[in-house]
Amino acid sequence: MPVDLAHIRQVMAEADCLYSEAEVEAAIDRVAAAINEEMAERNPVVFCVMNGGLIFAGKLLPKLGFPLEMSYLHATRYRNQTSGGELFWKAKPELSFIDRDVLILDDILDEGHTLGAIADFCRRAGAASVRIAVLIDKDHDRKARPDLKADYVGLSCVDRYIFGYGMDYKGYWRNAPGIFAVKGL
Report, as residue numbers or ranges, the catalytic residues.
Answer: 110
Task: State the Cα–Cα distance between residues 156 and 138, nearest whole angstrom.
Answer: 6
Nearest alpha carbon to residue 47 among 113, 118, 108: 118
Look up residue 111 and give its DSSP letter.
S
Kindly tell me the sign of the dihedral angle through the C-alpha atoms of 23, 24, 27, 28.
negative
Q: Do 165 and 55 contact (CB within 8 A), yes or no?
A: yes
Q: How far apart are CA 88 and CA 92, in angstroms?
A: 9
What does DSSP assign to residue 169?
B
